[in-house]
Amino acid sequence: MKDRFRLMEEADDRQISRELQGEVNNEFVYRVGDNVHLSYAGVRYAASILGGIHVKDVNCLFNEKLDQFEATVYAENRRTGITLPGTAEHRSSHLVEGESVRDMFARRTAVSKATRNALLAVMPVEHVKAVIVQLQESTQSLCIQMRR
């Protein structure tokens, strides 16, 4: 059984991949059991509603030993003056039927996940909670159920 964070991370990977291929994401909230969290698209939506939040710096390196991209993104909340980092890693290849397949979006996925983490870090917790409530009340299509 996968833990809720692994389930949400995998769902965000799929959202990021779809976005990089030109699709629009409309799943803003994840529900795993009794836990509710913002998705990748939900974090970006919450940041746009709050306003005054922007990305200041992006760094992404390839770790050959671990075969992964490692990204650090700094976001700033101009209202509070707080700047915090978000980090993420994403493997550059994965196994498909026993064969290693390169992920052509690996670097961009690592940067997208690090951006999500940085944006979330600089938003007030009360704002994040309020956005989750608003999204849950507005429509069911924005909330997806996940099973462990």
Dmax over CA atoms of the chain, in Å, equals 50
Residue type, 2: K
Q: What are phi and psi of 124, to 5 degrees?
A: -60, 140
Task: Kindly report, residue by residue over 19-74, the tens digit of the pLDDT.
Answer: 888 888 888 988 877 888 899 999 999 999 999 999 999 999 999 999 999 999 99
For residue 143, the model assigns a pLDDT of: 52
| Tens digits of residue pLDDT in 67-122 | 999 999 999 999 999 999 999 999 999 888 888 899 999 999 999 999 999 999 99
Which pLDDT band holds residue 141 (cuts at 50, 70, 90)? very low
For 122, the enclosing helix (H) or strand (E) is helix 106-122
**What are residue 76's DSSP bridge partners?**
54, 83
Q: What is the DSSP letter of 109?
A: H
Confidence (pTM): 0.86
What's the count of helices (H) and strands (E) in the chain, helices before strands?
4, 8
End-to-end, the C-alpha distance of the chain in Å comes to 6
